[in-house]
Every structure is written in structure tokens, then in C-alpha cells.
Amino acid sequence: MGKKLEVTGKYDATAEVYDRRYAQIQRRKYEVVESFLPGRCGAVLDLGCGSGLFLESLARRSAVLVGIDISGRMLEKAGRRGKAMMVRGDAENLPFADGCFDVVVSVTVLQNLPDPGRAVREVARVLKRGGLAILTSLKKKHGPDDLEEMVRSAGLNVVRSGEIPDSEDSFCVAQR
């Protein structure tokens, strides 16, 4: 629980300046993630939604949009964007029923977790059959091969993986 409290405190403390510091870097990652999404996505979960920067784009594609984050201050900021239902929660213990999302996206979250493999298993659990998961992580912590291994271990099928150009992230696109 120590690492989770540390991460929560870090993001609570930086919530008001997060967009100014990281919006440009994050938007490049969002563009890559979006390139793998279908035109309409049904029910979408933004796992680790942070300040809600990606929710604006996802809202145009989804019938139901949920943002989840462990940081209450980040969720408050994301909630002001008014694009999604906000849930405070833990990526390693998602408070959702099995098979309730068509798409789960998680951008630059896994490297912050004590057990990222458990979070990927939770992603697999909440995905519908045929659902799509797009995960990114800092490549110094989880390279493409690491992400693929986590995805396969969770019972998902790897569709594509690699490194996001002009960023420090790797990505993995998977299907249930």
C-alpha cells in the first residue's frame, strides 16, 4: 500500500499544474492510442484518467465513458471537464463487473503500480469478449516485450506492440 499512497500523494500534489507540464507529451501518446480505436467504441474505460485530458477525445467515440483514477484531486479536475463518469479507484482492484467495457485504455499508468500484471488481469476481466485494450507504459520500466508478456499472461491476444515515436513509452494493443 506504500507505493499506492506515494503515487496518490504525488498526483494529488501536482493536479493543478499537471496539464501545463505534461499535456503536450501526453497528447502525442493519445494520438497513437486513438489510431487503434474504432470509430465508435461503446463503453470505454480510461484507466488512470488523471486530469481527464484524454476524456475529451474519447467522449466523441463512446456511448458510455468512465474515467478512473486513484488520485482524488486529479479526478476533481477531470470531472470539471464534464465528459465522463468519474470513479475513484485502484487499477489493481477495479470496481466493475466482469465484461462490462468494449474498450479499456491506459496511458502511462502501469509503471506507477506495485503489481502492473494484476492491473492487466483486471483489464482483461472487465473487457467484453472481442473487447480492445490499449496499454502504454514508460519503456524504461516496461518495454514492448514486457507489455506483451503481461497481456498474454492475462489471457489477452496481442494485436500489435511497439514504441510510441517521439516519446518514452511503449504500447500494446490487445483483444479479448
Render pLDDT for 31-80 as a digit per residue (tens, 0 to 9). Answer: 999 999 999 999 999 999 999 999 989 999 999 999 999 999 999 999 99
| For residue 19, pLDDT beyond 90 | no
Domain of residue 163: give its range.
2-175
> Could you tell me the pLDDT band of residue 154, with boundaries at 50, 70 and 90?
very high
Start-end of H helices in the chain: 2-14, 18-35, 55-59, 72-80, 116-126, 144-153
CATH number of the domain that residue 12 is part of: 3.40.50.150
Residue 158 CA: distances (Å) to CA of 9, 15, 133, 144: 33, 33, 9, 11
In this structure, is the dihedral angle defined by the CA atoms of residues 78, 81, 87 and 91, taken in order, positive or negative?
Answer: negative
pTM: 0.91
Beta bridge partners of 136: 171
Query: Do the Cβ atoms of 151 and 120 come closer than 8 Å?
Result: yes
Quote the CA–CA distance of 155 and 109 in Å, as a whole number.
20
pLDDT reported for residue 4: 74
Quote the CA–CA distance of 80 and 90 in Å, as a whole number.
21
pLDDT reported for residue 2: 82
Give the chain's domain count: 1
pLDDT reported for residue 6: 72
In this structure, is the dihedral angle defined by the CA atoms of residues 107, 118, 95 and 41, taken in order, positive or negative?
Answer: positive
Between 3 and 133, where is the model more confident? 133
